[in-house]
Amino acid sequence: MPTISMFYGIIIRMYCGKAEHNPPHFHAYYQDFKAIVDISACEIIEGNLPAKQVKLVLAWAELRKDELVADWELASRGERPFKVEPLK
């Protein structure tokens, strides 16, 4: 699962594979926490992160939604997604 972005200790990854399930999503990791975030709704659908990191991840996802959708389309075809600009 390639890393597509990293910021403030948070690692964002997206699986590549034709069998990857919907809805379009990415995986966020922070220390021992992990969460799956729905790209369209910009909400956590599985797992959890500390409150501060939730705010950062969801704000980033909202800002980068178009890029994340494009990456999801690549990944769902088995292609490697592009890196996405981190929060600064």
List CB contacts of 66: < 8 A, sequence separation 6 or more: none
Q: Would 84 be classed as within a structural domain?
A: no
- Let me know: does 47 contact 29? Beta carbons within 8 Å: no
First-residue to last-residue Cα distance in the chain: 24
> Each residue of 46-81: pLDDT tens digit?
999 999 999 999 999 999 999 999 999 999 888 999
The pLDDT of residue 27 is 97
Q: Would 81 be classed as within a structural domain?
A: no
Dihedral of CA atoms 40, 60, 7, 47 in degrees, nearest 10, equals: -40
Q: Would 86 be classed as within a structural domain?
A: no
Between CA 37 and CA 51 the distance in angstroms is 14
Q: What is the mean pLDDT of the chain?
A: 94
Instruction: Give the structural domain span for 51.
Output: 3-76
Q: How many domains does the chain have?
A: 1
